[in-house]
């Protein structure tokens, strides 16, 4: 199939309108649009021109198994490591893209933090450093230093807690909240009752480790994992205040145990975060290789690269869903639609807030003829990101295939509001208008598509 789009044919199709798509999703692997081939009308002939014979925009994918009224217009974008959708309160800002044939490349966007304030690894490292400094201050009998450590740790915990409360992220469940509160209260009681019975004081000093350990096992890979370091501040700051406010106090074994029982949890948090960052870097490299093989149209090798990326990325790594729906989109190009749906469903299990995965699933369902299910997927993509023009265009395509031409035109209008230079939406609107007998308006759409073609041809490679 040709690797670049050709001029648009103004015809009155007898069957369903075509679909052409451009993906401008934020740093996603690629989104595929599915379009039907429209046979020429017996009543209208193409307008003569000096250009080569016009034909529908085709994919440069390998041919899929024959299917009636189906074709591909493919545009791909590189992977992204975050799944944060563009803000729904304002239109997306224009970005500089490098276009090469059917591929639209955009620079990677940096990983964004889900929570305001310090990153989890920084927070865990600061709490751990504060606890180690407190032990050293106790050994050196520096009471003012211990008091300063208490103030700094409490300030860091309050600052990070305020950021968590302002954010819209998920909250810990009752069990996790109870474990965190229990660990903090037991550690605080160990500092207050340090001069009580030895058995009770020892039990309190060591007992805080039990709820903290259980909470860590459940929360270490969840979005609110920073709470592990925040609640660890309470017993450490309490022991620091005990040493700082009593000049006659000398460190004891119970005092050291009370601090040590709160140190493993911020340490585990910091270590896990560092490992996650390294895994994300490995994932980026694997995705770059997979994308390059897609550009070379070596789809079988691309599948192998995506499989390596999947094996290298644990489910909690930022962007872990990217290789799954990248693999699904490649399988769509190869005509292996059932496998594609399984891969994309896995991506959506990891992150249901990725609009490109929803669009790719809708494309696979469209190729299988399941238009109602495809329409639900496009609606889900629009719900995640109302400014994703590809989802609006593909929704229009699904409605046009169902014979709902007026609704389809409204979707194309919305896609063109978001991106007036979206050639695929102009082409699709023109064919739907032709189907409705509104030939003058269809001709205007074709003229606009041709103008965009000329502009694209004038762009430097």
The tens digit of pLDDT for each residue in 330-347 reads 998 888 999 999 999 998
pLDDT band for position 436 (cuts 50, 70, 90): very high
The CATH architecture assigned to 30-111+274-458 reads Alpha Horseshoe (1.25)
What's residue 97's pLDDT? 32
Give the start-to-end residue ranges of the domains of the chain.
30-111+274-458, 120-262
Statement: residue 4 has pLDDT above 60:
no
Q: Which of 305-309, 312-316, 422-426, 442-446 has the lowest mean pLDDT?
A: 312-316
pLDDT band for position 116 (cuts 50, 70, 90): low
**Between 109 and 202, residue with greater pLDDT:** 202
**pLDDT 10s digits, 223-273:** 888 889 999 999 999 999 988 888 888 888 888 888 998 899 899 989 988
8 A C-beta contact, residue 395 and residue 375? yes
**Between 141 and 76, residue with greater pLDDT:** 141
Mean pLDDT over each residue of the chain, to the nearest integer = 75
What's residue 459's pLDDT? 53
Specify which of 202-206, 276-280, 283-287, 358-362 reaches the highest per-range mean pLDDT. 358-362
pLDDT band for position 20 (cuts 50, 70, 90): very low
């Amino acid at each position: 199939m040709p690797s670049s789009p050709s001029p648009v044919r103004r015809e009155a199709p007898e069957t369903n309108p075509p679909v052409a798509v451009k993906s401008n999703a934020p740093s996603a692997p690629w989104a595929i649009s599915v379009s039907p081939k429209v046979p020429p009308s017996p009543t209208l002939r193409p307008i003569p021109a000096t250009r080569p014979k016009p034909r529908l925009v085709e994919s440069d994918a390998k041919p899929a198994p024959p299917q009636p009224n189906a074709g591909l217009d493919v545009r791909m974008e590189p992977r992204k490591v975050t799944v944060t959708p563009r803000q729904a309160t304002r239109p997306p800002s224009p970005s500089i893209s490098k276009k090469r044939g059917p591929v639209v490349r955009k620079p990677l966007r940096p990983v964004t933090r889900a929570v305001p304030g310090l990153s989890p690894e920084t927070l865990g490292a600061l709490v751990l450093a504060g606890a180690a400094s407190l032990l050293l201050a106790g050994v050196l009998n520096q009471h003012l230093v211990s008091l300063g450590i208490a103030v700094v740790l409490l300030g860091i915990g309050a600052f990070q807690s305020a950021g968590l409360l302002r954010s819209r992220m998920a909250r810990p469940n009752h069990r996790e909240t109870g474990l965190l509160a229990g660990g903090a209260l037991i550690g605080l009681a160990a500092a207050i009752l340090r001069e009580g019975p030895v058995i009770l004081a020892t039990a309190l000093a060591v007992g805080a480790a039990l709820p903290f350990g259980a909470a860590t096992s459940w929360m270490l890979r969840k979005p609110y994992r920073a709470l592990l370091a925040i609640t660890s501040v309470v017993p450490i700051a309490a022991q620091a205040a005990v040493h700082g406010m009593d000049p006659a106090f000398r460190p004891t074994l119970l005092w050291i145990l009370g601090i040590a029982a709160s140190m493993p949890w911020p340490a585990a948090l910091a270590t896990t975060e560092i490992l996650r960052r390294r895994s994300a870097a490995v994932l980026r490299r694997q995705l770059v290789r997979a994308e390059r093989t897609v550009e070379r149209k070596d789809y079988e090798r691309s599948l192998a690269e995506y499989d390596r990326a999947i094996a290298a990325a644990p489910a909690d790594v930022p962007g872990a869903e990217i290789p799954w729906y990248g693999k699904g989109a490649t399988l769509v190009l190869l005509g292996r639609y059932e496998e594609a749906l399984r891969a994309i469903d896995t991506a959506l299990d990891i992150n249901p807030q990725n609009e490109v995965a929803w669009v790719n699933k809708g494309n696979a369902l469209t190729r299988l003829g399941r238009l109602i299910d495809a329409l639900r997927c496009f609606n889900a993509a629009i719900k995640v990101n109302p400014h994703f023009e590809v989802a609006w265009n593909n929704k229009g395509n699904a409605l046009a295939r169902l014979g709902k031409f007026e609704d389809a035109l409204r979707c194309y209008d919305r896609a063109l509001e978001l991106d007036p230079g979206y050639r695929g939406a102009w082409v699709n609107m023109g064919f739907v208008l032709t189907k409705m007998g509104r030939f003058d308006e269809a001709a205007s759409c074709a003229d606009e598509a041709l103008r965009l073609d000329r502009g694209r041809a004038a762009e430097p490679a």
